Structure formats: structure tokens, C-alpha cells
Amino acid sequence: MKKLTLLSVIIFSFNCWANTTNELPSDTYFAVVDVETTGLDPNYNEIIDIGLIIVNQTLDEKGRFYTKVNPTYPNRINPIAKQINGYDQKRWINEGSLSEQVTVNQLVSFLKKFNKKPIFIAFNSWFDAAFIRNLLNDYDHQFDDLFDYKVLDIPSMALACGFFPKSNDFNAKLADLLEIDPETNNPLLHTGESGVNFNLALLNSLKDKNCF
């Protein structure tokens, strides 16, 4: 079966460069991630929703983590973010959101079940990685203790394979090019779980199109 290799743009410490590597060890894991937040600034806004799927090199699912998160500063919600993810503090509580501390504890326990640190993959990965990094730091954990130092970006992987959407609606157009369903834009259904499922569908389509 086709295996995911690092023939893409790698983001390391949030600086980008093109990088080609040899095939990875057979026991390599990847963490496909999506977060929803109260805004765009990882030093001010917070995570309110996390979806994470662990896969191997052939994109077989090995584990899944998902939760809504109750932010410390809910009043910092940006109106545009709220339009996208439908954040409402009362609804979040009613739907079983966890405190940030409990979220971190459970995420750390989940990631430590695997025998090797996974490589982080997301859509606009600098954004998701920055928020995850800050959340972990707030509760005395380090990103690099849980994830491999390499960070992969799904749009960069698609662009490197020749899929270059020429549209303002990049996400939907990329989904169209890769022949998958776009992620929902219904704020009541748009979650970290819907996002990470979309990310994994993108990766599977790229694999099927011989991009890796």
C-alpha cells in the first residue's frame, strides 16, 4: 500500500522550507489535527474544540481524540469566529465540554498510548500547532514532548502535487479538485471533529491520486 512520506513543505518552528526526505520508518505515526478557536491570535484567543486522529503511513486509523473545550476567557470570542463555529458557552457546557486542564490531561494520556511521537498534520498547520502548543504550555507540558518536531501542512502537500485552487473559497475549491465533500459551513455542525474528518479525507484523496 502507498505510504505517507515527507515529500512536501515541512514547517519547523513555524519557518517553512521545501524538503525532500527518504521514506520514513515503518512505525511512524501521524496526528491529523483540527482545532476551533475563539479567534485568530494564539496568544489571546483559546481552543474551544479539538479533533485529532492518529494514523499510520497508509492512513489506517489507530486512535481518535475529540472534545469540546470550555475556554478560560469565553468573552474573547471573535464575532467572525462565532459565525464559523457557533460557540455559545451554555451550549458548550450542555454538550459536555471539558475544562482546559482536563482536556490537556486527557490529550496527554491519549498521545502517550503510542510508542512514538506522531508527526503533526493540519490544514494551515502553523495555526493549529500554535494553539495546541500554547494550551500545552499553559499546563506545564511541551509540544515537542508529545509530537515529532516535523509539522506537515495539508494545503502545501496539495499544492506540491499540482492541486492549486484559484478561488477565494480555497477549502471548498480544494475539496472539489480532490473530489471529496467539502467541510460543512453550518456553525452548529462545524467542529474539530468535522474538521479532522475533512483533513483525513483530503489526505486519502491525495494518496489515491499518487501524491505520496
pLDDT digits (tens, 9 = 90+) for 46-90: 999 999 999 999 999 999 999 999 999 999 999 999 999 999 999
**Within 13 Å of residue 106, how many CA atoms lie on the same side as its CB?**
16
CATH 3.30.420.10 fits 8-13+25-208, yes or no: yes
Is residue 92 within a helix (H) or strand (E), and if so which, with residue range? helix 89-94
* Overall pTM > 0.85: yes
Rounded-to-integer distance, Cα 97 and Cα 152, Å: 28
What is the reported pLDDT for 87? Answer: 97
Residue 182 in grid coordinates: 467539502
Domain boundaries, the chain: 8-13+25-208
What radius of gyration do the chain's Cα atoms show? 17
Per-residue pLDDT of 117-152, as tens digits, reads 999 999 999 999 999 999 999 999 999 999 999 999
